[in-house]
Amino acid sequence: MATDGVLTPQGSDFPRWYQEVVAKAELADNGPVRGTMVIRPYGYAIWERMQAEVDRRIKATGAENAYFPLFIPESYLQREAEHVEGFSPELAVVTYGGGKKLEEPVVVRPTSETIVNSYFSKWVQSHRDLPMLVNQWANVVRWELRPRLFLRTTEFLWQEGHTVHATEAEARDFALEILGEVYARFMADVMAVPVLTGRKTARERFAGATTTWTCEAMMGDGKALQMGTSHELGQNFARVFDITFLDEHGAQVHAWQTSWGVSTRLMGALVMTHGDDAGLRLPPALAPIQAVVLVVRAEEGTVAAAEELVRDLEDAGVRARLDARTDTSFGRRVVDWELKGVPVRVELGPRDLAKGEAVLARRVGARKEGARPEGAQKETVSLGDVAARVRTALDDAQEVLAAEARRRRQDATTEVSTLADAVDAAQGGFAVLPLAVLGEDGESRLNEAGVSVRCIQRADGTLPDEADDPAGLVAVVARAY
């Protein structure tokens, strides 16, 4: 696990800092094919916790997990013109298999709308079959020209939900339930990453959708990251794949649909939102190791006492780990655990044991007003109180990380009235611009300056509705990953 512990400061080169943290905290490595990645055990343990939390919320909506093939007949994608046009530059296509040229090329799954809907057309017959709510956890391939670990890779892991509904209103309600109750709440409550929710512009809309709803977060350098999306598909795919049902009056009608997903991009968001110049800072809700007990020196029963502390912590519901590697210097181990973002360290040496005490070090400072203190906060705690104090420290850390992220976004968000001001403000954060000022060509002008419209909201930050007066809507613009 040992690293050199030295990171490029965020302020001098944020992209390089990010790459170093991902590598040195042992989250992921580059794969042998350009754009692929190897997720290392520590990184995958974090992803598993994300996956479990999101999966639980998805199932609470009534959706069930299924699995669909990795290979999709090319003709399936050709059936929905906008969909294939949107994905064609990113497709990986197999033309040979078993040593022979295939009669029909197959596409390596970039997303599953087409193959899922081909089966929905078989499974949906009556209004009694609806709603049909299906989710899958899988890998997808989109040929990425500018890869960056977790953020943009040729192959990545995700969940993708696909649903069929009897009415447009039911489909919209479900798409928004996923957006708000599943995605946004998970991001805020578990990842400690606050997000803005809103509607994408037509240019940024998912290929084949009628409306795309998005969760957008501000990273540590002020750039935006699209964290997850939920799409209203209207009847586009239902008409192409003949997804019809007999309604309550015996009429044959086309269904209404949604699709939605989040991916391992969430891992990148976790690093870039909470990390500092010492490495990761993990929200306790997602930390595979919430507390590590470090033996300072293996003398006079300290290892046995440390093992007892680990058991006490585990009995209190804390994910704890013992570090008794005294053949590695104590300072080196401290640096490594801080780099990996473990929320709490409990340090125990012979002198501490003689006093019946241990030293508790927080990776994230205790709740307090003002700027984050530099370095870990330490306190001396009696051995009998360690478990309770660690639990308090974990609760504090979760709240502090969320509060810091909210404050950063608030401080780096500027209301502007012109496109030029929006471009200037977006160099260091988010700009909020009246939608009327954006106009028909404003999005193109922003894109030319390296800025994009992240979402459209009401002026009060709530989700817009089709009935809203455009004069009351705003566009949130930013530079983005």
**Nearest of 175, 74, 91 to residue 140 by alpha carbon:** 91
Could you tell me the two tokens for 138?
């899988």
SS3 245: strand
Q: What is d(CA 264, CA 153) in angstroms, rounded to the nearest whole number?
A: 10
Instruction: Report pLDDT for 291.
Output: 98
Looking at residues 426-449, what average pLDDT do you find?
A: 95
Burial 314-348 (b: 16+ CB within 10 A, else e): eeeebbbbbbbbbeeebeebbbbbbbbbbbbbbbb
pLDDT digits (tens, 9 = 90+) for 281-322: 999 999 999 999 999 998 879 999 999 999 999 999 999 999
Instruction: Report pLDDT for 398.
Output: 97
Instruction: Report pLDDT for 4.
Output: 64
Mean of per-residue pLDDT scores for the chain: 94
Instruction: Report pLDDT for 369.
Output: 41
Is 368 exposed, middle or buried (CB count within 10 Å of its CB: 0-12, 13-18, 19+)? exposed
pTM: 0.94
Q: Which domains does the chain have, with CATH numbers?
A: 14-274 (3.30.930.10), 291-405 (3.40.50.800), 413-478 (3.30.110.30)
